[in-house]
Structure 1
Amino acid sequence: MAPIQKKMIVISNRLPFVIQKDDKGATIRKHSAGGLVTAVAPVVVENDGKWVGWPGPDYDFGTPLPESSPDDTTPTAGLKSSNVIPVPLSPNLYQSYYNGCCNETFWPLFHSMPDRAVFSAECWKAYVEANILFAKNTVKGLDDMCNDDDDGPTLVWIHDYHLMLAAHAIREYASKKQYKIKLGFFLHIPFPSWDLFRLFPWADEILQGMLACDLVGMHIHDYCVNFIDCCNRRLGTRVDVKEMLVEHGGRYVRVAPLPIGIPFSRFVSLAKEAKRTIPEDKRVVLGVDRLDYTKGLPQRLKAFELLLAKHPEYIEKIELLQIAVPSRTDVKEYMDLKEQMDQLVGCINGRFSTATWSPIRYIYGTIGQQELAAFYRDAAICFVTPLRDGMNLVAKEYVACQINSPPGVLIVSPFAGAGQNMLEALLCNPYELTETMETLHRALTMPEDERTLRMNYLRKREKNQDVNFWMKSFLKAIGRLSEEGSPIVLPNSLKPLSMEDFDEYFAIRNSLFNQKLALLLDYDGTLAPLAPHPDLAIIPPQTKELLQRLANIPDVYIAIISGRGVNNVKEMVGVDNITYAGSHGLEIIHPDGSKFHYPMPPEYEQKANALLKELQDQVCKDGAWVESKGVYMTFHYRNVPLDTQPDLVSKAKDLIEEHGFVASHAHAAVEAKPPINWNKGRASIYILRTAFGLDWSERVTIIYAGDDTTDEDAIQALKGMALTFRITQNDISVKTAADRRLTSTQCVVTLLRWVERYCARLPINKPGSVCTAPSAPANAKN
Structure 2
Amino acid sequence: MTVYKKKLIVVSNRLPFVIQKDDLGNVIRKHSAGGLVTAVAPVVVENDGKWVGWPGPDYDFGEPLPESSVDDTSPTAGLKSSNVIPVALEPHLYQSYYNGCCNETFWPLFHSMPDKAVFSADYWKAYVEANELFARNTIKALENACDPDDPPLVWIHDYHLMLAAHAIRQYAANRQYKIKLGFFLHIPFPAWDLIRLFPWADEILQGMLACDLVGMHLQDYCINFIDCCSRGLGTRVDAKDMIVEHGGRYVRIAPLPIGIPYDRFRTLAVSAKRTIPEEKKVVLGVDRLDYTKGLPQRLKAFELLLAKHPEYIEKLEMLQIAVPSRTDVKEYQDLKEQMDQLVGCINGRFSTPTWSPIRYIYGTVSQQELAAFYRDAAVCFVTPLRDGMNLVAKEFVACQINDPPGVLIVSPFAGAGQNMLEALLCNPYELNETMETLHRALTMPEDERTLRMNYLRKREQSQDVDFWMKSFLRAIGRLDGEEAPVVQAFGLRPLSLDDFDDYFAKCKSLFNQKLALLLDYDGTLAPLASHPDLATIPSQTKELLQRLSNIPDVYVAIVSGRAVSNVKEMVGVENITYAGSHGLQILHPDGTQFHYPMPPEFEEKASEVLKELQDQVCKDGAWVESKGVYLTFHYRNVPADAQAELVAKAKEIIEKHGFLASHAHAAIEAKPPINWNKGRASIYILRTAFGLDWSERVSIIYAGDDTTDEDAFQALKGMAFTFRITQNDMSIKTAADRRLTSTNCVFTLLQWVERYYSSRPISKPA
Offset at 1:608? 1.2
Amino acid at match of 2:134: F
TM-score by length of 1: 0.97
Distance 1:511 1:323 in 2: 61
In the other structure, the counterpart of 1:637 is 635
Check the 8 A contact 2:319/2:358 in 1, yes or no. Answer: yes
One-letter amino acid of the counterpart of residue 73, structure 2: T
Given that 1:480 and 1:489 are in contact with CA atoms closer than 8 Å, whether structure 2 keeps it comes out as no
Q: 1:223-234 alignment to 2 at 5 Å?
A: 223-234=221-232
Give me the whole-angstrom Cα distance separating, in 2, the residues matched to 1:155 and 1:761.
51
1:608 aligns with 2:606: yes
**2:139 matches 1:139:** yes
Match of 2:685 in 1: 687
* Counterparts of residues 51-130 of structure 1 (less than 5 Å): 51-130=51-130
Deviation at 1:2, TM superposition (A): 4.2
Q: Deviation at 1:514?
A: 3.7
Q: Secondary structure at the match of 2:401?
A: coil
Compute the RMSD of aligned alpha carbons: 0.9
Please state whether the residue corresponding to 2:640 is helix, strand or coil.
coil
1:350 aligns with 2:348: yes
- Deviation per CA, 1:146-169: give whole Å up to 9, x if none: 1x5x61111000000000000000
Distance 1:411 1:631 in 2: 70
Secondary structure in structure 2 of the residue aligned to 1:145: coil
C-alpha displacement of 1:19:
0.1
Query: Secondary structure of 1:286's match?
Result: strand
Query: What CA distance in whole angstroms lies between the structure 2 residues aligned with 1:325 and 1:490?
Result: 46
Distance 2:598 2:604 in 1: 11
Deviates more, 1:504-513 or 1:120-129: 504-513
Deviations along 1:488-526, one digit per CA (max 9) or x if unpaired, are 224510111111110111112345334211100000000
Q: Is the 8 A contact 2:319 2:360 kept in 1?
A: yes
Please point out which of 153, 156, 163 is paired with 1:155: 153
Residue of structure 1 in register with 2:567 after alignment: 569
Distance between the aligned counterparts of 2:736 and 2:464, measured in 1?
44
CA distance in 2, matches of 1:442, 1:765: 70
Q: Deviations over 1:333-380 (max 9, x none)?
A: 111111111111111111111111111011010010000000000000
Contact kept in structure 1, 2:246 and 2:730, CA below 8 Å: no
> Which letter does structure 1 place at the counterpart of 2:243?
L
1:311-460 alignment to 2 at 5 Å?
311-460=309-458
Q: Measure how far apart 1:593 and its partner are.
A: 0.9
Q: Which residue of 2 aligns with 1:772?
A: none
Instruction: State the secondary structure of the residue aligned to 2:183.
Output: strand
Q: Alignment partner for residue 296 of structure 2, among 277, 281, 298?
A: 298
Contact 2:512 2:763 in 1 (8 A): no
Partner residue of 2:31? 31
Q: Matches of residues 646-725 of structure 1 in structure 2 within 5 Å? A: 646-725=644-723
Judge conservation of contact 1:65–1:81 (CA < 8 Å) in 2. yes
Mean CA deviation greater in 373-382 or 189-198 = 189-198
**1:512 touches 1:721 (CA, 8 Å); kept in 2?**
no
CA distance in 1, matches of 2:702, 2:346: 65
**Match of 1:275, SS?**
coil
The answer (yes or no) to whether the contact 1:619–1:651 under 8 Å persists in 2 is yes
Q: Could you tell me which of 592, 595, 602 is aligned with 2:593?
A: 595
Contact 1:289 1:325 in 2 (8 A): yes
AA at the equivalent of 1:336: D
Moved over 4 A (4+): none
- The AA in structure 1 aligned to 2:483 is P
Q: Which residue of 2 aligns with 1:489?
A: 485
Residue 327 of structure 1 aligns to a residue in which SS?
coil
Q: CA deviation at 1:4?
A: 2.0
CA distance in 1, matches of 2:508, 2:368: 64
Name the SS for the 2:144 alignment partner: helix
**Which residue is 2:183 aligned to?**
185
User: Amino acid of the residue matched to residue 330 of structure 1?
Assistant: D
CA distance in 2, matches of 1:511, 1:112: 37
**1:755 equivalent among 749, 753, 756:** 753
Question: What corresponds to 2:10 in structure 1?
Answer: 10
Query: What amino acid sits opposite 1:750 in the alignment?
Result: T
Shift in Å at residue 22 of structure 1? 1.4
Deviation string, structure 1 residues 723-782 (Cα, Å, up to 9, x no partner): 0000000133000010100000000000000000001221133235xxxxxxxxxxxxxx
Deviation at 1:11, TM superposition (A): 0.5
CA distance in structure 1 between the partners assigned to 2:502 and 2:540 by the alignment: 25
Kindly indicate whether the alpha-carbon contact (under 8 Å) linking 2:2 and 2:469 is maintained by their aligned counterparts in 1: no
Q: Distance in 1 between matches of 2:50 and 2:486?
A: 24
Matched residue, 1:771 = none
- Structure 1 distance, partners of 2:507, 2:400, is 56
Residues in 2 aligned to 1:511 and 1:63: alpha-carbon distance in whole angstroms = 70
Question: Percent same amino acid at aligned positions?
Answer: 84
Residues 535-587 of structure 1, C-alpha deviations (whole Å, 9 max, x = no match): 10010000000000000111110000000111110000000000000100001
Q: Distance in 1 between matches of 2:83 and 2:762?
A: 72
- The one-letter code matched in structure 2 to 1:448 is E
CA distance in 2, matches of 1:313, 1:489: 59
Structure 1 letter corresponding to 2:538: P
Which letter does structure 2 place at the counterpart of 1:487? E
Give the 3-state SS of the residue equivalent to 1:513 in structure 2: helix
In structure 1, runs of 5+ residues without a counterpart are 769-782
* Cα distance in 1 for residues equivalent to 2:586 and 2:277: 89
In the TM superposition, 1:181-220 aligns within 5 A as 181-220=179-218
Report if aligned partners of 1:294, 1:388 keep a CA contact under 8 Å in 2.
yes
In structure 2, the partner of 1:251 is 249
Distance in 1, Cα, partners of 2:252 & 2:486: 11
Q: Would you say the 8 A contact 1:529–1:538 is kept in 2?
A: yes
Mapped to 1, the partners of 2:319 and 2:54 lie a distance apart of: 35
SS of equivalent residue, structure 1 residue 184? strand
Structure 1 match to 2:274: 276
Say whether residues 1:307 and 2:305 are aligned partners.
yes
Give distance in 1, aligned partners of 2:466 and 2:400: 20
Query: Which residue of structure 2 lines up, in the alignment, with residue 778 of structure 1?
Result: none
SS of equivalent to 2:739:
strand
| Per-residue deviation, residues 200-249 of structure 1 (Å, max 9, x unmatched) | 11100000000001111000111111111111110011111110111111
Cα deviation for residue 487 of structure 1 reads 2.5
Shift of 1:178: 1.8
In structure 2, C-alpha distance between the alignment counterparts of 1:70 and 1:336, rounded to whole Å: 43
| One-letter amino acid of the counterpart of residue 129, structure 2 | E
Quick one: distance in 2 between partners of 1:7 and 1:257? Answer: 24
What SS does the corresponding residue of 1:329 show, helix, strand or coil?
coil
Please state whether the residue corresponding to 2:663 is helix, strand or coil: strand
Alpha-carbon distance between aligned partners in 2 of 1:151 and 1:761, rounded to the nearest angstrom: 52
